[in-house]
Structure 1
C-alpha cells in the first residue's frame, strides 16, 4: 500500500492522497480487506468526480443545504448550460411553473398503453418540485436568465417503465389517498440518497440516536453543510453518495437500473455538447450525489462511447401536465418521515435569512419567453478552474462549530405550540410551555446534540402536552408539523391547466364560487327559478361519475331514468381534486368526450359483460343524451349477451333491461331496434341455457330465478317480436334439478306456464311438510318459492299459505331448531324478495288483534256446496258455473247478453236460455276455464 495512489482511471489521486492513506491505515487496524477497499474507493470516487472537466453539482432532493449551495454557485459561476437529472420529455412543462404555487409535481400520464402489460394501466410518473430544492433553483435560474439553456438528460418516462424491475410494481407508490396527492404514480426525484442497504440504515439510526432516516439526515448532513463553502459541500456530498453506493449489494435489479440511467445521462450530455458546441467550462451538471459517484465506463466527457445504446420508446401515448402537490404527498411518495419536508422548508427559510441569500424564483413578470442573449463583442476567455483542494480532511476531523442554543427560537416554538394545543381542545397552560422548553434541552443533551432540533422539540411537546385522548382532529405531532411550516399545498394556475380543466372551471363559473380553493363549498341550484344553471347541473353529474368519491357530492337531488330534480344541493371539493381533473384532461378536451371514450372502452374490453353494457347505456342516456351513441352501446350489449356462456349476471341484466324498457315505453312511441333485439336474443339465450343452469351446482338459485323472470316477465313482448313459446316450454320440461331450492323454482315455473295445476303444487307442498325426512331441508324449498316470486308474483299467496302451515303443523321440538336455518336461508338466498312476502302476509292476515280470534285462514275455510237444482246441463262446466254465478253474469254482460237466473233453487237447465245458448255455442271456453281452476 506504499505505492503511488491512483484512481479507477490510473491517474494519481492528487490532493486526496493523504486522506486516502489515513483511511487505509484505519482500515488496517480493523484487519479487514473489504473495509480497506471501501474506504479507499470513497476517496477515489470523490477525486474522480471533482476532476471531471464538466462540473458536477451533487444534490439531495428537498435539501436546504443543496439549495443554498446551488444559489451561491449559480451566482458565482453563471453557467450558460444547465444539465438537469430529470426525465427529458418533461422539459415543456417547466415553462409553466411560473403559473403555479409550489409545491407542484410534473406528471406524465398514459391510459392507452402499448408495449407494457395491460394490468399496469394507467401509467403515471410524477416529479415533485419544492422551492427548497436545488433543482428548482437551477430551473428558475435557467428560465429567468437570458442566454441560459436548460437541458434535461435523464431517461424518458417511457424508459422509466421499460426499465422498471418486474415484480416491483409498487415501488414509489403512496398508500394514504388522503395525504398522498400523487396517488399510485411512480415517483422520480433528483438525488435519492436514502441508503438501500437496510442494515446500514438501521446502524446509522441506532448510533445516531434518531428514529428515522429524515432525522439522521437533518442532524448529521443538513445542519453541518447548510452554511459550508461550496468546495466542502461538493466533496462531502460525493463522499456520502459513494458510501451508500459501495455498501449497496451488487447485482440487484435496482443497481442495473441506476447504472443504465447514468449511461443514459452521460450519453445525452455528450450528444448535446457535440451538437451545440458549448464549452464544458460554461456548463453545470446537476444530479443526485449517488450518481455523481458513478463508476460506469461511460462516466465523464472522456468516458467510453458507443457501448450503450438507448432503446426506442414504445408506442404508448404520453400526456403531460402539472398537478398540485403537498409536503405530506411528497413524504408519503418517497417514504420520508411525516413533517420532514416542512422542517426542511423551515430550515431553508432560516438559512436564507442568516446568509442574506436571494433565491431564484419564477413569477408572472418573468413569464415572458427569453430571447437569446446577444453574443458579446469581445468574448472573454473562461477563467481557469480553481485547483482542487482537500476539504474533506478538515471537515471530517475538525470539531463541530460552536452553535449554541437559540433561546428565542425555542421559546417561540414552546409558546406557539401551547397556543395551538389550547385552540384544538387541549388543557394546556404556561407550565406546559416551560416543561416543553426544558424537556427539549434535556432530550438534545441525552442525544448528544448541541442544540434542540425540531425533532427534539416535537418529542418534548408530545411528552408534556399529549394526553390519553386526542380532544380534536389533530394530535400534538400534527400540531408541531403545522407550527414548523405545515403541510403546504401547491396549486396549478389557470393558464397552466389543460383545456378540459379550464373548460370545467369556465362552465361552473355561474355558480359564483371560487372553485380553486381547497375547502369544501356548498352550491345551491334552483333549476326552476334559474334555468341557466341546468348546464352546471349536467356538468356536476358527469363530474360525479368521473371523479373520485367526495370530489363532487350531491346532498339533495338525484338523476335517474325518468327523473329530473327541480332543486339540487352540492358539496364541491374541486380544488382538492384538481389532480384528478388534470388527469381527465389527458384523455380529452371535454368531460363529455372523456365519458364517451370510457363508456366505449368499457363495453369493448375483454372482460366486458352484457350487464356492464346495459349500465353504459343507462349512463349514456343520463349524462350524454346522444341517441346514436346509446344505440351503439345497446347493439354491443346484444352482442355480449349472445356471446355469454354463463348466467352469473342474469339478475343484473334483468334489473337493468326492465328499467330501460320502462323508460323507453314511457318516453318514446316504440322501442329502439337494439331493445327489441336484446329481448329476442335474451329469450333464445336463456331458453338455451335454462336446463343446464338448473342442474349446474355453480349456478345459484338467484341466477336461475332471474332467467325465469326474464323469460316469463317479457314473454308477451318476446312473442310479439317473433319468439316461440314452445321453446320455453321445452326448456322447462328438459330441466331436472336436484337441489331443493331449484326444485321449488321449477315447480313454480311449471305452475306459471300451466304445466302444473295449482292444486297439485299445493298438494306437493303438503307432502313435504308431512314427510319428517324432508322437514329439515324445507327452508331450502321455501327459499326457492320466495325466489320464484320474481318470475311468478302470483304465487305470493301460496308461499304465505305454505309458511303458515309449517308454523301451524310442526311441533315445537322440530320448529325451534328449524327457525334459525329458515332465517339464514332466506337472508342468504332470497333477501330481496322477502319484502314482497311480507306485504302479501299483511294483506292475508287480519290487521287487528280482535279480528284474529275469529279469523279463519282462506286455505282452511270449508267450500260451499254447489246447489244441485241449479246445475245446468254441461257436466263439470255446468257445475262450475252453478257454483260461481257471478262470474257467468259478468261474462254474459261483457258479451252483451242478459242472463236470467230464476229466483228459486229449483232452476232447471232450460230456465236460462241465453246462458245455455252461450255454453252450447262456446263449450271449449268453459272447459278450459274449468280445467284451469281444477
Structure 2
C-alpha cells in the first residue's frame, strides 16, 4: 500500500468540500501525490533540486556524505563534461560555455551560438561536482542533451533563437557577463501559469517570485531532513507541471529532455554494470515529477531516438559570471542570488554541515578537516513526511536582534558613505520598520527583503545623491554582487598568450579595476611588442577593454610615448571568446578581416579599410595584396557610388603610404586606379542625373578621376573617356549643375571667364536667386576635384553674401555649415586659407579694400611702356596662347595679354615686361631650364 494513502484521502476530501469543480481539482491533487510516490519508489534515487538554492545545496551535501554514491548523474549538457575539472582553477561564480561561430545545420541568422551554465558555490550541482571530482572511484556523468541539441530543438521560426530575459534591466553592467547566450540551469522552478504566480505573490504578501520562494520554500526546507526535503520538492515540481500549459513547445522540449536523460542513464548502467542503488540522479524538481513513458529503470518503453549532432563545430571554455548576470539571464529579482549566497553561508555555520569544495579552488575559504566518511546507510522505507509538513505550522525563528541591529548600523554607514544624510535615528527607524513590516506580512522574523523595504522607506529621500540607491546598498551589505574569474590555467591558449605578452607592463591583469599603463617606447624598446598587441586588442575587443589615452596608430605615424587604460580583467569574457576563434590575436584578426571582405555585403570601402588594418596590425604583404585584389573586384562589381567619398579618402591615404615606403606601387594599387578610373567614368553620367546619388558622392567621383588622372594615364587609361563622360552628363539639380561646370572648367572645356559670367547671370536673375545657395553648395563640393577653384568659390560666396536677400541667405547659412562639418570637413581649411589671402588682414584696410574681382579690368598699356627683352620666354608665351589662356583663367586674369604680345620678340604685358627688364639674368636662366622641355610643359599646362 502507498504510504501516501492518508494524505491522498485528506486532499480529496478538501477538494470535494471547497472546490467549485470537484472533477478537476481532485484529479490534480491526487496526481501530485502519485507523482511524489512514483519518484520516491524509483530504484534509481532521484534528487530534486532548484537552481542556486541554499536548501538544495545543503541537502545535497548531507545526502552525499550519507549515501556516498559511486555514480552521480547530473542534469547538465553532456558535452560540457571535459570543462568540469577546470573549475578548480577558477574563482566562482563562473559559467561553462559552448560556443559556435561557424554554423552548419542552423540558420545563419542565429550565429554565433552560445550556451552557458553558471555555477555558484551555493548550488547543489557544484556540491555534486566537487564530491565526484575529489572522491576516489566516483564517476560523474552528465546526461542532459548537448549544446547542439539545445538549438536543434528550437523552432526555426522566428529567425533568431531566444536569449536571456530582458526583465532585469536594472541589474547593472555586470548583468552582461553572459552576453546573449542561452542559459542552461538545473531546476527551473517557477510557475508557468501566470495567474498562479500572481495568486501566490498576492496572498504571500511579497513583491516578486524570488521573495516568495525564499519565504515559503527556502527557509522551511533549510533545516528539514532529507526525506521531507525530497518529498516537498517533488510535490512543488508536480504542482507547477500540472498547472502549466499542457500543449506548449516548452513542455514538449522538457519532455524530450527527460527522455534523453533516462536514455543516457540506461545506456551507462548497461555499459558499466553498476548497481543502481549506488547511483544518484540529480535533476530539477520539475523533471523529478516527469510522466514520460521512459521514466524509471523498469519502464518498458523503447529508448528515445537521439538525433545525431549537426556538423557545427563547437568550442568549449569557462567564462566569468556574477550574481547579477545569473539574475538577469534567468529572470530573478535583483539581489536574490546574493541573498541566497548569504543564506547558504549562514546555514552552513548554523547546521554544522561541511560542504564540498574542489581542491585548489580559488577564492574558497580555508575549510576545517573533513570528517571521515562512515559506511553508507541502507535506504529505509518510504514514509509520509508531507502530511506533517503541510499540516503543522512552520517553526518560527525568534527575532535575532543582533543580526538586525548589525544590518541597520551597516546600512547607515554605507548610506553616509554614498552621500545620504543618514544618522543614528535612521538606524533606529530601519530597525523598528523591519519588525513592523515582518509583522504585517505574518513573519515572526524580518527577512532580508523586509529589511530592504524598511531601509528604502527610512533612508532614501527624493533624490539619489550618488551612483547607488539604498536598495543597491542593501544588496551590497547582504552579500554583494560576487563576480567570478577564470584562472590562468583554465584560459584558452589565446588568452594565456595575451597575458604572457602583456606581462612586461608589470600590471596585475586579473584586477577588474581600470589600470593605467605608461609606455616610453624610445627608452624601453622591449615594450614595443606590448604596444602592438594593445592596438590589436583595441581593434578586436569591445569599447572600454583597452583604451588609448595618448598615442595613435595610423599610416605613416609612430608614437614615441603611449598611455593606456586597461580593463582586461573586467572584459575577461571577451578575451576568452577570442580564444574560440584562433590561437593568437593575429590569427583572429586575419580571419575577421578576410571574412569581412568576402561576406556578401562587402564593398570596396570595406576592403580598403581591411587593407589599412592589415598594414597597421599584421604587416603581411601577401595578405595585404590578397585583400587589395579583393578590393579591385568589389569596386568593379559595384553598381552604386554611395561609398565613393570613403573610397577616395582611403585610396589616397594608401597611395601616399606606398609612395613613401616602397619603391614601386603594389600591382593591386595600379589595378585599383585603372579599374576605378574606368568604373567612375562609366557611372558618372548616371550619377549626375540620379536623384538618389548625392552631391558629395558625385564630387568624390570627380575627385578620384582628377587626383588619379596622371597615374591612370600613365597606366594606359584614356583621358577622352573622362571628357566624353562629362559631355554626356546633363544634370538638372542646381548643385550638380554647378559641380558639372566646375568639372568642365577643370578639363578646360569651360573658360573661367565664361564660368564667372554664368554665375553673375544667375545672381542677376530674380527667378534663380532662391536656388543660388544650391549652386553655391555644388561649387563648395567642387573643391574636392578642383581645389584650384578656391579663389573662385570665395569670390562667388562673397557675391552671394553681398547680393542675396536675408530671407534666402540666413536659412542657407546653417545648412552650409552643417553640410561642411558632416560631409566635407577637409574643405573648410581650403576656404579659410583662400579667404585669408583675399580679404584684408586689418580692420583699417577694409574701408579702402577693393575686391580683386571688382578691379579686374586690364588698363590700356601706356605709350611709353617698358619693352620686354627679347628672348625665349616671350617666344614661349606667344607660341602657346592656349596654355597661357588656361593659366590666366585659373589666376583670375582675362586674355588681354595676347594683344600686348604681337610677336615672339615683341613687347609683353606691362607688368611682365617690367619684371623681365628688372631681372634679365633670372629670365634667361629660367628660359634655359625650360627650353629642353617646352613641348612637355605646354602639354601639361594645356
On whether the aligned pair clears a TM of 0.5, the verdict is yes
1:621 to 2:615 alignment: yes
Contact 2:49-2:186 at 8 Å conserved across structures: yes
1:247 to 2:243 alignment: yes
Alignment of 1:767-778 (within 5 A): 767-778=761-772
Cα distance in 1 between the residues matched to 2:924 and 2:88: 95
Cα distance in 2 between the residues matched to 1:555 and 1:134: 46
1:74 equivalent in structure 2: 64
Q: 1:814 to 1:831 in 2, by over 3 A?
A: same
Contact 2:897-2:909 at 8 Å conserved across structures: no
Q: 1:775 to 1:76 in 2, by over 3 A?
A: same
2:302 equivalent in structure 1: 306
Deviation at 1:22, TM superposition (A): 2.0
Query: Could you tell which deviates more after superposition, 304-313 or 634-643?
Result: 304-313
Aligned with 1:152: secondary structure? strand
Alignment of 1:285-296 (within 5 A): 285-296=281-292
Cα distance in 2 between the residues matched to 1:545 and 1:791: 33
2:891 equivalent in structure 1: none
Question: Match for 2:687 among 690, 693, 698?
Answer: 693
Alignment of 1:737-886 (within 5 A): 737-812=731-806, 815-816=809-810, 819=813, 833-867=827-861, 878-879=898-899, 881=901, 884=909
Query: Any stretches of 5+ residues in structure 1 without a counterpart?
Result: 1-11, 368-379, 901-913
Alignment of 1:140-179 (within 5 A): 140-165=130-155, 166-167=157-158, 169-172=161-164, 177-179=173-175
Alignment of 1:30-69 (within 5 A): 30-32=19-21, 33-69=23-59
2:13 equivalent in structure 1: 25
2:887 equivalent in structure 1: none
Q: Alpha-carbon deviations, 1:289-313, whole Å to 9, x = none? A: 1111111111111235436311111
Cα distance in 2 between the residues matched to 1:320 and 1:820: 55
Contact 2:897-2:908 at 8 Å conserved across structures: no
Contact 1:91-1:152 at 8 Å conserved across structures: yes
2:230 equivalent in structure 1: 234
1:550 to 2:544 alignment: yes
1:410 equivalent in structure 2: 404
Deviation at 1:364, TM superposition (A): 2.3
Question: Match for 2:492 among 479, 498, 509?
Answer: 498
1:213 equivalent in structure 2: 209
Aligned with 1:359: secondary structure? coil
Deviation at 1:701, TM superposition (A): 1.1
2:517 equivalent in structure 1: 523
Query: Any stretches of 5+ residues in structure 2 without a counterpart?
Result: 364-373, 868-873, 882-895, 902-906
Aligned with 1:15: secondary structure? coil
Aligned with 1:70: secondary structure? helix
Cα distance in 2 between the residues matched to 1:642 and 1:72: 72
Structure 1 length as normaliser, TM-score? 0.91
Cα distance in 2 between the residues matched to 1:716 and 1:795: 19
Deviation at 1:807, TM superposition (A): 2.0
Q: 1:382 to 1:15 in 2, by over 3 A?
A: same
Q: 1:818 to 1:581 in 2, by over 3 A?
A: closer
Deviation at 1:274, TM superposition (A): 0.9
Q: 1:880 to 1:829 in 2, by over 3 A?
A: farther
1:573 equivalent in structure 2: 567
Q: Alpha-carbon deviations, 1:382-416, whole Å to 9, x = none? A: 97632211111111111111311111111111111
Question: Match for 2:604 among 584, 595, 610?
Answer: 610
Q: Alpha-carbon deviations, 1:577-631, whole Å to 9, x = none? A: 1111111111111111111111111111111111111111111111111111111
Aligned with 1:323: secondary structure? strand
1:351 equivalent in structure 2: 347
Cα distance in 2 between the residues matched to 1:516 and 1:922: 71
Contact 1:651-1:703 at 8 Å conserved across structures: yes
Question: Match for 1:564 among 537, 547, 558?
Answer: 558
Cα distance in 2 between the residues matched to 1:815 and 1:607: 42
Cα distance in 2 between the residues matched to 1:389 and 1:649: 77
1:733 to 2:709 alignment: no
1:279 equivalent in structure 2: 275
Contact 1:98-1:364 at 8 Å conserved across structures: yes
2:191 equivalent in structure 1: 195
Aligned with 2:99: secondary structure? strand
1:712 equivalent in structure 2: 706
Q: 1:98 to 1:813 in 2, by over 3 A?
A: closer
Aligned with 2:73: secondary structure? strand
Question: Match for 1:675 among 669, 673, 679?
Answer: 669
Aligned with 1:18: secondary structure? helix
Q: 1:21 to 1:515 in 2, by over 3 A?
A: same
Cα distance in 1 between the residues matched to 2:765 and 2:542: 56
Query: Could you tell which deviates more after superposition, 599-608 or 802-811?
Result: 802-811
Cα distance in 2 between the residues matched to 1:816 and 1:499: 62
Q: Alpha-carbon deviations, 1:52-105, whole Å to 9, x = none? A: 111110000100000000011111111100000000000000011111111111
Contact 1:173-1:187 at 8 Å conserved across structures: no
Q: Alpha-carbon deviations, 1:242-283, whole Å to 9, x = none? A: 111111112212112111111111111111111111111111
Aligned with 1:472: secondary structure? coil
Q: Alpha-carbon deviations, 1:190-235, whole Å to 9, x = none? A: 1011222222222211111111111111011100111101111111
Aligned with 2:457: secondary structure? helix
Q: Alpha-carbon deviations, 1:844-875, whole Å to 9, x = none? A: 11122111101111110142323275799989
Aligned with 1:303: secondary structure? coil
Contact 1:786-1:834 at 8 Å conserved across structures: no
Q: 1:338 to 1:812 in 2, by over 3 A?
A: closer
Cα distance in 1 between the residues matched to 2:451 and 2:247: 42
Q: 1:926 to 1:554 in 2, by over 3 A?
A: closer
Aligned with 1:179: secondary structure? helix
Cα distance in 2 between the residues matched to 1:883 and 1:140: 102
Q: 1:924 to 1:112 in 2, by over 3 A?
A: closer
Cα distance in 1 between the residues matched to 2:401 and 2:165: 40
Cα distance in 2 between the residues matched to 1:922 and 1:831: 39
Contact 1:82-1:283 at 8 Å conserved across structures: yes
Q: Alpha-carbon deviations, 1:616-658, whole Å to 9, x = none? A: 1111111111111111111111111111111111111111111
Alignment of 1:314-713 (within 5 A): 314-364=310-360, 385-713=379-707
What is the RMSD of the two structures over their aligned residues, measured on CA atoms?
A: 2.8
Deviation at 1:172, TM superposition (A): 2.2
Q: 1:878 to 1:698 in 2, by over 3 A?
A: closer
Aligned with 2:38: secondary structure? helix
1:108 equivalent in structure 2: 98
Query: Could you tell which deviates more after superposition, 493-502 or 172-181?
Result: 172-181
Cα distance in 2 between the residues matched to 1:608 and 1:144: 52
Aligned with 2:461: secondary structure? coil
Contact 1:866-1:883 at 8 Å conserved across structures: no
Aligned with 1:487: secondary structure? coil
Aligned with 2:176: secondary structure? coil
